[in-house]
Amino acid sequence: MSFSDIEVLRLGHRVGRDPRITTHLALVARAMGANKFTLAGDQDEKLFDNIASVNERFGHGIACRYEHSPMKMLRRIAASNDESRPVIIHLTMYGEPFKKTIPNIPKQRNALVVVGGAKVPAELFSISDYNLAVGNQPHSEVAALALFLDCWTEGAGFEREYTNPQLVISPSKSGKDVKEV
C-alpha cells in the first residue's frame, strides 16, 4: 500500500518538561511512516540534533522543523479550499473512535496529524477535519500516535526504505543483529 505524506505536529512542547516524550513522538513518527515532524511550543535544538543523529546512523527518515505560530498555520490550512491541502487529524481522547473513522478519511491526501501537549486550544477541535480518539481514557500521546499510524498506514509504515543508513538492524530471534553499511 502506498500512502501520501504524513506530517506530525507536536503542540505545546516544553523544553524543561517534555523532551523525552516529544523525542519519542518524533521517533515513533519516523519509524512508522511519517516523513515530517513539526515542533511547536518551546524551540528545542537538542531534540532536533537527536533526531538528526538517528537519521544519520539509521538512514534519513524524517525532516524536522520548528513552527512559531501553529494555530495560525492550522487556521490557514483549514480555511484553504485547495483540494490538495492536507487533512488535519487531531489525536485526542475526546474524539471519535479512530478505527471506525479512519476508513472515512481520504488517504490520497497528505495528512497533518496533530498531537497535543499540556494544553490544547479548544479551537483546535473546530479547525481539525477529524478529532480521533485512541480510547477515551487518559494515556500516552506516544501510544496514541503509534496506534494511529499503524492503522493509518495498514502496517506499511514499518516497511519504508531509509536513505543512506550507516547501521542496519535485522530481525533476530536472539541477540542483536546490527550491520554497518
The string of pLDDT tens digits covering residues 116-168 is 877 899 999 999 999 999 988 888 999 999 999 999 999 998 888 899 999 99
pLDDT over 50 at 170, yes or no: yes
DSSP 11-76: EEE-TTT-HHHHHHHHHHHHHTT--EEEEEES--HHHHHHHHHHHHHH-B--EEEE-S-HHHHHHH
The answer as to whether 92 is a domain residue is yes
Domain count for the chain, please give it.
1
The CATH number of the domain holding residue 157 is 3.40.1280.10
Of 131, 152, 118, the C-alpha closest to 29 is 152
The answer as to whether 86 is a domain residue is yes
The answer as to whether 146 is a domain residue is yes
- Domain residues for 98? 6-180
Residue 1: predicted pLDDT: 45
- Which tens digits make up the pLDDT trace of 45-88? 999 999 999 999 999 989 999 999 999 999 999 999 998 999 99
**Alpha-carbon distance 178 to 141, whole Å?**
29
The answer as to whether 1 is a domain residue is no
Residue 130: predicted pLDDT: 98
The answer as to whether 172 is a domain residue is yes
Q: What is the chain's length?
A: 181
- Which tens digits make up the pLDDT trace of 12-34? 898 888 889 999 999 999 999 99
Single pTM value for the model: 0.94
Residue 160: predicted pLDDT: 87
